[in-house]
């Protein structure tokens, strides 16, 4: 009988492993949930702290702005008060006390009092009448600020000026204090006074208390030196304490003006701290939020998270949905926070615009136009005080001609919104002050109950408009008085304006010309020429001049130079073309006569040069014979001293005559043509040194001491070397000739500029009379001081100047201060390839 099949039983080890695996998976899932919840808790904690830090920064910025504006308001009060005091004849108390009535600080809780002190500390006037006459210890204020300047002092104990009478601060019994703001000025009689405004730190602390809503939050106002000024919590250090160990003062300031961190602060325990230094004052605002209080709501949510964790083990999907909803809620919270930041930024911008507009005249009236409020700007505008203006109609304050227009701004039957009018007010100095007044009606229950308005000073614009109109009238007058015909036409070629000279030239009145085409009355050839020039000017811009002939009203054709420029338009393009005509018919006639005269002069100069050259050649032939026979006679008559002396005189006279003829030939060659110069590029230093070597025997004969200065770098120029050496030789030989024996001879060859060579030769001779400094360069002229019978034709310097001028240079003579003459020879250092010579006629 077959065995029955057995039912398979679960393997215990497999079941154990599956159970273990299930337990492990369950444990891993539980661990994952716990880790996830822990991460959520840490995320919420970090978000809470970051949100708190953002809020602390926002509060610090808001409170710092309030403190700065408060101190600036006190400074503005002192400035306005100072302007009133400066106008007083003297600083007598009976003159100053009315300016410091109790109304000055009645609505300003941040001010304890405002007072005026003399240089000895006596209270001349005060907003608190009981303080008048007190003598304060001004040494406690330290050095006074400069006139017209202000200075904010550190916190001082006390409630008023009466607590500052002692030379030293009394032992602090309470936490009541004040922050003095000083401003120094001089009255009209030169007396120096000190304005003191006592700022109430308690008012600043009260504002901070109202701005802080979180329990355990603290706002601290301190000076940059760490002295505590005000705090909104009694548990913090008392005002006047030093916060030097606070991390903000020990680590952050002054490297950073604002910032935030989490750590220690003025309170015990971890804090979220934000600080911000004032933009204009030596103050810093600190905001501290207790981290334990901030995380209290987070701790409360931990219990809920623990319960949620238990539920999440059973309903993972539900827990995930809760998490997603929580993240969405936080994103919405972040969006709301960003919106709040944008709202705060918008309010700050509005406040900045409002502060900028304070310089305008701001006022408010009732329905009848009677002023009920006017800002402090009126003190700089009107001759009456603000108290005298309030209660009067604005129309009564303007000049008589503008009162009807001003009264129309306050019409109750006018349903318009903003209303504007330009009016004038008489300034304190008697001149008119122009304002653009704008008012807006104020409605209540459907009816107008008053008006709010402002006035902008437009005096400069009115003056500029008047000056512009005078300038336009003056320009029009100049245009009519101009002797040159002037016209303007638009880009389409139609006349826009013409002047009287143009009418006289053409013979047509402007009424018949304005609006007509430019070429309507011209011949086709002339019209085409002008149209082409106008098209070129419109395409390229700039200025255009050309010469042509224009028909005069008498029918003759006149030579004209026409100049045209573009007139810029308002849209960036040209508005038209301005055209001037200059009659140059007489100049053209004179020019032709000048050319004919020049041609005749050139012809005469050429004839003179040819005559000199021919006669010089004719003289050389007999001179050569005379010199030859004189040498022969001297050789044969050596044994007869008398005969030898006669032939020697004949030979020397012939040599001088030959030198004169050679100089005449040089002059003729130079004047005849430029072609006698052969240019090549060479170093001018070498030419100077070659001439010095050639003249060295002459210098040695007179034992002259040569002082030579030559440039280190090459002085390259394209010249005729022989001619330039001839010019240099003549100048140096002339200096050697008239130098005393043993005297120095200074020669300098340098580059005066990168484009010019300079050679100077200075001797210690008799010099040259000032009236002869130019005439010595003329042919056959010698200086009266150097006519010593030593010979000379008087052509050397004339030849040198002609050679130098042909090369484009110059040569001049001058006297040295301590005796002697100085010759300066200048030549251009031309670029390679420049071979142009200056022809001399």
Instruction: Report the CATH number at residue 709.
Output: 3.30.565.10
Domain stops at, among 611, 635, 667: 667
Q: Given the structure tokens 């150097």, which residue do they identify?
A: 786
pLDDT at 650: 79
Residue 7 confidence class, pLDDT cut points 50, 70, 90: very low
| Residues written for the chain | 841
Q: What is the rounded CA–CA span in Å between residue 438 and residue 422?
A: 9
Mean pLDDT of 739-754: 92
Same domain, 494 and 602: no
Mean pLDDT of 682-699: 91
Mean pLDDT of 794-810: 85
pLDDT at 613: 56
> Based on the number of CB atoms within 10 Å of its own CB, is 709 exposed (0-12), middle (13-18) or buried (19 or more)?
exposed
Q: How far apart are the first and last CA of the chain?
A: 158
Q: Which of 180-194, 213-227, 416-430, 536-550 has the lowest mean pLDDT?
A: 416-430
Domain stops at, among 433, 464, 495: 464
Q: Is the CB of residue 545 less than 8 Å from the CB of residue 536?
A: no
Most confident of 329-338, 391-400, 799-808: 799-808
The better pLDDT of the pair 293, 760 is held by 760
Residue 439 confidence class, pLDDT cut points 50, 70, 90: confident
Q: Which long-range contacts (CB under 8 A, 24 or more apart) does 2-6 make?
A: none
Report pLDDT digits (tens) over 614-625: 565 556 557 666
Exposure pattern of 432-447 as b/e (b: 16+ CB <10 Å)? ebbbbbbbebeeeeee
Mean pLDDT of 233-249: 82
Contacts with 545 (C-beta within 8 Å, 6 or more apart), sequence order = 561, 562, 563, 564
Q: Is the CB of residue 76 less than 8 Å from the CB of residue 150?
A: no
Cα-based torsion angle of the residue sequence 666, 667, 669, 670 in order, rounded to the nearest 10 degrees: 110
Mean pLDDT of 25-49: 79
What average pLDDT does the chain have? Answer: 79
Domain stops at, among 535, 564, 583: 583
- Give domain status of residue 320, yes or no: no
Q: Which of 346-350, 522-526, 696-700 has the lowest mean pLDDT?
A: 346-350
Host domain of residue 575: 482-583
Q: Which of 409, 433, 408, 436 is nearest to 422 (CA)?
A: 436
**CATH code, domain with 120:** 3.30.450.20
Strands 557-568 and 574-583: antiparallel
Q: Which of 74-78, 318-322, 756-760, 776-780 has the lowest mean pLDDT?
A: 318-322
Q: Is the CB of residue 530 less than 8 Å from the CB of residue 564?
A: no
Residue 832 confidence class, pLDDT cut points 50, 70, 90: very low
Q: What is the rounded CA–CA span in Å between residue 557 and residue 550?
A: 6
Residue 147 is given by DSSP the state B
Same domain, 683 and 742: yes
Q: What is the rounded CA–CA span in Å between residue 75 and residue 69?
A: 9
Q: Given the structure tokens 């704008």, which residue do they identify?
A: 438
Q: What is the rounded CA–CA span in Å between residue 132 and residue 122?
A: 8
- Give domain status of residue 655, yes or no: yes
SS3 442: strand
Same domain, 579 and 593: no
Same domain, 579 and 458: no
- Give domain status of residue 2, yes or no: no
Q: What is the rounded CA–CA span in Å between residue 447 and residue 415?
A: 10
Same domain, 88 and 180: yes
Contacts with 680 (C-beta within 8 Å, 6 or more apart), sequence order = 718, 719, 720, 721
CA 348 to chain centre: 31
Residue 144 is given by DSSP the state P
Inter-CA distances, 728 with 797, 827, 837, Å: 10, 12, 18
Inter-CA distances, 454 with 186, 353, 436, 441, 460, Å: 32, 14, 8, 12, 18
Q: What is the rounded CA–CA span in Å between residue 544 and residue 546?
A: 7
Same domain, 242 and 271: yes
Residue 489 confidence class, pLDDT cut points 50, 70, 90: confident
Residue 827 is given by DSSP the state E
**In 159-315, which ranges are continuous DSSP H helix?**
201-211, 247, 291-294, 296-314
Q: Given the structure tokens 């770098």, which residue do they identify?
A: 713
Q: What is the rounded CA–CA span in Å between residue 86 and residue 731?
A: 77
Strands 810-815 and 271-277: unpaired
Cα angle value 372/375/377 (rounded, 5°): 140
Strands 543-551 and 432-444: unpaired
Q: Is the CB of residue 57 less than 8 Å from the CB of residue 274?
A: yes
- Give domain status of residue 722, yes or no: yes
Structure tokens at 765: 């001779």
Mean pLDDT of 248-265: 89
pLDDT at 401: 83
When divided into structural domains, the chain yields a total of 5
Structure tokens at 370: 């009677």
Residue 828 confidence class, pLDDT cut points 50, 70, 90: very high
Q: What is the rounded CA–CA span in Å between residue 781 and residue 786?
A: 11
pLDDT at 607: 60
Is it the case that residue 50 has pLDDT exceeding 60? yes
pLDDT at 514: 85
Q: What is the rounded CA–CA span in Å between residue 833 and residue 829?
A: 12
Tell me how crowded residue 627 is: count the other CB atoms within 10 A of its CB.
17
Q: Which of 254, 136, 240, 248 is nearest to 179 (CA)?
A: 240
Q: What is the rounded CA–CA span in Å between residue 673 and residue 606?
A: 9
| φ, ψ of residue 498 in degrees (nearest 5) | -140, 155
Most confident of 117-121, 337-341, 457-461: 117-121
Structure tokens at 595: 């050319």
Report pLDDT digits (tens) over 296-346: 777 777 777 777 777 766 665 555 555 456 666 766 777 888 888 888 778
Same domain, 644 and 686: no
Structure tokens at 551: 């028909």
- Give domain status of residue 324, yes or no: no
The better pLDDT of the pair 409, 11 is held by 409
Mean pLDDT of 570-581: 81
pLDDT at 782: 66
Q: What is the rounded CA–CA span in Å between residue 717 and residue 688?
A: 13
Strands 705-710 and 744-753: parallel
SS3 750: strand
Tell me how crowded residue 483 is: count the other CB atoms within 10 A of its CB.
11
Q: What is the rounded CA–CA span in Å between residue 507 and residue 172?
A: 100
- Give domain status of residue 681, yes or no: yes
- Please give the share of the chain, as a percent, with pLDDT higher than 90: 15
Same domain, 579 and 655: no
> Based on the number of CB atoms within 10 Å of its own CB, is 752 exposed (0-12), middle (13-18) or buried (19 or more)?
middle
Which residues of 187-301 form beta strands (DSSP E)? 192-199, 218-223, 228-231, 258-263, 271-277, 283-290
Q: Is the CB of residue 291 less than 8 Å from the CB of residue 272?
A: yes
- Give domain status of residue 447, yes or no: yes
Q: Given the structure tokens 């929580």, which residue do they identify?
A: 326
Query: How many contiguous H segments (helices) and E segments (strands) does the chain have?
Result: 19, 28
Same domain, 522 and 598: no
Is it the case that residue 196 has pLDDT exceeding 80? yes
Q: Is the CB of residue 424 less than 8 Å from the CB of residue 398?
A: yes
Peptide bond into 445 cis (omega under 30): no
- Give domain status of residue 323, yes or no: no
Q: Is the CB of residue 669 less than 8 Å from the CB of residue 676?
A: yes
Report pLDDT digits (tens) over 587-624: 777 777 777 777 776 666 566 655 665 565 556 557 66
pLDDT at 658: 66
pLDDT at 244: 85
Which residues of 458-587 form beta strands (DSSP E)? 486-490, 495-498, 543-551, 557-568, 574-583
Is it the case that residue 707 has pLDDT exceeding 80? yes
Q: What is the rounded CA–CA span in Å between residue 177 and residue 48?
A: 37
pLDDT at 748: 94
pLDDT at 435: 84
Cα angle value 420/421/423 (rounded, 5°): 145
Report pLDDT digits (tens) over 615-669: 655 565 576 667 676 777 767 777 777 777 777 777 777 666 766 666 665 665 5
Backbone conformation region of residue 148, classed left if phi is above 0, alpha if psi is from -120 to 50, else beta: left
Helix, strand, coil percentages for the chain (3-state, nearest 5) = 45, 25, 30
pLDDT at 840: 39
Backbone conformation region of residue 92, classed left if phi is above 0, alpha if psi is from -120 to 50, else beta: beta
Same domain, 134 and 209: yes
Same domain, 415 and 540: no
C-alpha atoms less than 13 angstroms from C-alpha of 174 in its C-beta half-sphere? 7
Strands 680-683 and 716-719: antiparallel
Is it the case that residue 91 has pLDDT exceeding 80? no
Structure tokens at 803: 């050679």
Same domain, 48 and 84: yes
């Amino acid at each position: 009988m077959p065995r029955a099949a057995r039912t398979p039983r679960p393997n215990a080890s497999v079941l154990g492993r599956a159970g273990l695996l299930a337990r492990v998976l369950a444990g891993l899932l539980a661990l994952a949930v716990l880790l996830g919840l822990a991460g959520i808790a840490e995320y919420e904690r970090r978000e809470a702290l970051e949100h708190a830090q953002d809020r602390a920064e926002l509060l610090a910025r808001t409170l710092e702005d309030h403190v700065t504006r408060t101190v600036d308001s006190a400074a503005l009060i002192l400035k306005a008060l100072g302007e009133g005091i400066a106008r007083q004849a003297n600083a007598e108390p009976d003159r100053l006390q009315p300016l410091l009535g109790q109304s000055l600080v009645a609505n300003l809780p941040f001010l304890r009092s405002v007072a005026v002190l003399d240089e000895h500390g006596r209270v001349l006037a005060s907003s608190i009448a009981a303080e008048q006459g007190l003598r304060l210890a001004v040494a406690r204020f330290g050095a006074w600020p400069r006139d017209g300047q202000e200075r904010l002092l550190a916190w001082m104990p006390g409630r008023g000026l009466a607590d500052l009478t002692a030379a030293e601060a009394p032992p602090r019994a309470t936490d009541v204090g004040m922050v003095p703001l000083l401003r120094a000025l001089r009255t009209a009689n030169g007396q120096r006074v000190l304005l003191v405004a006592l700022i109430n730190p308690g008012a600043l602390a009260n504002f901070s208390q109202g701005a802080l809503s979180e329990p355990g939050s603290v706002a601290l106002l301190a000076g940059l030196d760490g002295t505590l000024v005000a705090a909104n919590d009694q548990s913090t250090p008392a005002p006047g304490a030093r916060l030097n160990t606070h991390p903000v003062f020990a680590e952050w300031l002054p490297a950073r003006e604002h910032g935030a961190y989490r750590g220690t602060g003025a309170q015990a325990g971890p804090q979220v701290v934000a600080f911000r230094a004032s933009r204009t004052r030596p103050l810093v605002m600190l905001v501290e939020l207790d981290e334990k209080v901030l995380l209290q709501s987070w701790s409360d949510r931990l219990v809920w998270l623990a319960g949620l964790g238990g539920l999440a083990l059973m309903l993972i999907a539900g827990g995930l949905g809760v998490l997603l909803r929580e993240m969405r809620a936080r994103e919405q919270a972040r969006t709301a926070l960003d919106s709040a930041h944008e709202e705060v930024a918008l309010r700050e911008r509005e406040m900045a615009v409002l502060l900028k507009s304070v310089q305008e005249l701001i006022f408010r009236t009732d329905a009848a136009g009677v002023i009920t409020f006017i800002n402090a700007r009126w003190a700089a505008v009107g001759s009456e005080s603000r108290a005298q203006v309030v209660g009067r109609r604005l129309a009564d304050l303007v000049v008589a001609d503008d009162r009807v227009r001003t009264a129309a701004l306050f019409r109750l039957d006018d349903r318009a919104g903003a209303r504007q009018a330009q009016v004038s007010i008489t300034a304190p100095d008697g001149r008119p002050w122009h304002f653009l007044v704008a008012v807006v009606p104020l409605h209540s229950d459907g009816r107008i109950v008053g008006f709010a308005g402002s006035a902008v000073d437009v005096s400069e614009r009115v003056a500029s408009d008047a000056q512009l109109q005078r300038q336009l009238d003056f320009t029009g007058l100049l245009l009519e008085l101009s002797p040159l015909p002037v016209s303007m036409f638009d880009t389409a070629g139609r006349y826009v304006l013409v002047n009287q000279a143009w009418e006289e030239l053409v013979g047509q009145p402007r009424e018949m010309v304005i609006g007509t085409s430019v070429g309507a009355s011209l011949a086709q050839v002339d019209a085409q020429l002008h149209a082409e020039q106008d098209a070129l000017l419109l395409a390229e811009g700039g200025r255009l001049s050309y010469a042509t002939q224009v028909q005069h009203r008498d029918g003759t054709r006149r030579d004209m130079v026409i100049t045209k420029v573009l007139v810029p338009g308002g849209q960036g393009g040209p508005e038209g073309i301005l055209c001037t005509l200059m009659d140059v018919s007489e100049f053209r006639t004179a020019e032709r006569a000048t050319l004919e005269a020049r041609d005749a002069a050139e012809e005469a100069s050429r004839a003179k040069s040819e005559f000199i050259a021919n006669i010089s050649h004719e003289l050389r032939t007999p001179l050569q014979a005379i010199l030859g026979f004189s040498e022969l006679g001297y050789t044969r008559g050596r044994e007869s001293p008398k005969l030898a002396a006669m032939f020697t005189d004949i030979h020397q006279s012939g040599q001088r005559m030959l030198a004169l003829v050679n100089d005449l030939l040089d002059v003729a060659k130079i004047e005849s043509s430029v072609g006698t110069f052969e240019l090549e590029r060479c170093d001018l230093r070498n030419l100077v040194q070659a001439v010095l070597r050639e003249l060295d025997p002459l210098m040695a004969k007179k034992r002259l001491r040569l002082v030579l200065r030559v440039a280190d770098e090459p002085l390259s120029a394209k010249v005729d070397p022989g001619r330039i050496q001839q010019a240099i030789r003549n100048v140096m030989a002339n200096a050697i000739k008239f130098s005393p024996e043993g005297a120095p001879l200074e020669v300098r060859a340098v580059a005066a500029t990168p484009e010019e060579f300079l050679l100077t030769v200075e001797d210690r001779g008799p010099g040259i009379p000032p009236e002869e400094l130019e005439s010595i360069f003329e042919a056959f002229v010698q200086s009266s001081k150097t006519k010593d019978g030593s010979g000379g034709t008087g052509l050397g310097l004339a030849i040198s100047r002609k050679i130098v001028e042909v090369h484009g240079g110059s040569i001049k003579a001058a006297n040295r201060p301590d005796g002697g003459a100085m010759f300066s020879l200048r030549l251009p250092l031309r670029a390679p390839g420049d071979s142009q010579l200056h022809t001399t006629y």
